[in-house]
A and B are shown apart, each in its own frame.
Chain A
């Protein structure tokens, strides 16, 4: 099975940087995903890491360390529209995505 942990809530100021950590313990690993979910909407794909290192995509970056079972999502130059829940998900050997409980990020002016 998979055990995925991430903080419940984070608050930051507009224009700042926020880092959301995710730790996982898995019986198989075939990649880690980050999704964004605004209230009342569907999750949308942000990033995918399968090898160690940093993946950068505009204001969002994601990092993976497989040996440590650790990932983070970095959100730079925060905007009000970034207020949302951020979900860490691990893909196991069986095609299954197991999700963490999500981190609610609140951006304040």
Chain B
């Protein structure tokens, strides 16, 4: 009965590689998000899609490209990985109209770039 799932849970890769993280939610929510949590545990929004439309696009390097094939899926592709990309990436989902508005988070993907 996993509500928000992400794969992979751990990702270790070298600088310069390209990698993808996948996210799926089965809660029937219309909006999905990508967050980055750095080593200081600060959780920062990166992107958000509402019904497959990009609605939040924070100041993120264009090496990061989200893609939402449908309301239940949101993927994150990262090109030319850098050391500073090492962090935990969380996917989340919620409703944005009609409530309740709380976001539900996936288990996270711990990315380590060496």
| Most interface-central of B42, B48, B103, B107 (chain A CB within 10 A) | B103
A84-107 to B contact mask, C-beta < 8 Å, 1/0:
010100010011111101100000
Q: Report the count of interface residues on A (CB-CB < 8 A).
A: 21
Contacting residue for B43 out of A44, A45, A94, A99, CB 8 A: A99
A41 to B42, CA, bound (A): 14
Contacting residue for A41 out of B31, B56, B107, CB 8 A: B107
A44 to B103, CA, bound (A): 9
Q: Report the count of interface residues on B (CB-CB < 8 A).
A: 23
B30-47 to A contact mask, C-beta < 8 Å, 1/0:
010100000011111100
Indicate if the CB atoms of A96 and B105 lie closer than 8 Å. no
Contacting residue for B42 out of A33, A95, A97, A101, CB 8 A: A101
**Which of B14-22, B65-73, B77-85, B94-102 contacts the other chain?**
B94-102
A109 at interface by CB-CB < 8 Å:
no
